[in-house]
Amino acid sequence: MLNLLLQTTIEGDPDDWNVDRFSRLHSFLSGLQDNDGQIAFRVTARNRTARGEPDPVLSNLSDSDFDQIWLLAVDVGDGLTAEDCAGISRFRQRGGGLMVTRDHMDLGSSICNLHGVGAAHHFHSRNQEPDERRHCVDNPYAGNISWPNYHSGANGDFQRVQTVGSIHPVMRDRHSPTGVIQYLPAHPHEGAVSAPPGDSTARVVMEGTSTVSARRFNIAVAFERTGDGGRAIAQSTFHHFADYNWDPSAGCPSFVSELPGDAMARFPEALRSTRQYVRNLAFWLSA
């Protein structure tokens, strides 16, 4: 059995995106079985300790028995200390698998200092998208949220996604008529990711399309395992994994103002596709 850490970058504020708001992801990962029918992952879900101080788990992650970390960067830029980033980077360098996701604008920007995978994440104030034509608001309906904020649909709805290049293992879906992942939960302001220039281990494997501008945007970047580090995924938004986006009846923090949709509930194939993608990620990261 592999050990998987499901980790947020905030303390346990009940009115924020604390780890309890990813309980459906936690439950699904905990129930995954290997080819022998045995439970594949022992999942530990936790929030960070006091911000501004090194987290005792993250800063020492390379010395732990975890095999993967799914890092949900839900902070406003102060969620990881330098010691935390160093600990996570050492963890990947010793072969650990890493899934790192964030959200719009500068939300989650504390991940920029993570070795390798941090460079795949673009924010409003840090490590901006290299194409300056993308330094513009995509979702004009959220006045307090600036770029990057790609609009893939309402929370509670789904988006159709596209594979990029040759079909990557995380994109395969034998239950889909196309043989690839077709759907993920939608979100009205997704963040930006890209393959870091000069990193031959990284490539974009999935993209979406804005429902407002019709602009295509990257959703996932995969990093292959090398002698210098384990596999990793950079994901455009943690809302692909949040309870609220899988099922809006789960509720959300009070600061979420947009009205949710209900397409995920009306079209079960979208949730099945999402779960298949999660399964693919979990097994690929430790392969």
Convert the pLDDT of each residue in 3-21 to its tens digit. Answer: 999 999 999 999 999 999 9
pLDDT at 142 over 90: no
Rounded to an integer, the average pLDDT of 103-130 is 97
Q: Which residue has the tokens 């759907």?
A: 183
The pLDDT assigned to 228 comes to 82
| Residue percentage of the chain with pLDDT more than 90 | 95
Name, in order, each residue with C-beta under 8 angstroms of 51's C-beta and a sequence gap of 6 or more: 10, 11, 75, 78, 79
Element (H or E) spanning 42, and its range? strand 41-46
The pLDDT assigned to 287 comes to 83
Q: Which structure tokens are listed for 172?
A: 């395969």
Could you tell me the pLDDT band of residue 252, with boundaries at 50, 70 and 90?
A: very high
| Separation of alpha carbons 138 and 213, rounded Å | 7
Exposed/middle/buried for 272, CB within 10 Å: 0-12, 13-18, 19+? middle
Q: 3-state SS of the chain: helix, strand, coil percent to 5?
A: 25, 20, 50
What torsion do the CA atoms of 239, 92, 284, 74 make, to the nearest 10 degrees? -10
The pLDDT assigned to 46 comes to 98
What CATH superfamily classification does 2-285 receive?
A: Class I glutamine amidotransferase (GATase) domain (3.40.50.880)
Give the number of other Cβ atoms within 10 Å of residue 262's Cβ. 13
Rounded to an integer, the average pLDDT of 64-77 is 97
Average pLDDT value over all residues in the chain: 97
pLDDT at 167 over 90: yes
The pLDDT assigned to 166 comes to 97
The pLDDT assigned to 224 comes to 97
pLDDT at 227 over 90: no
Full-prediction pTM beyond 0.85?
yes
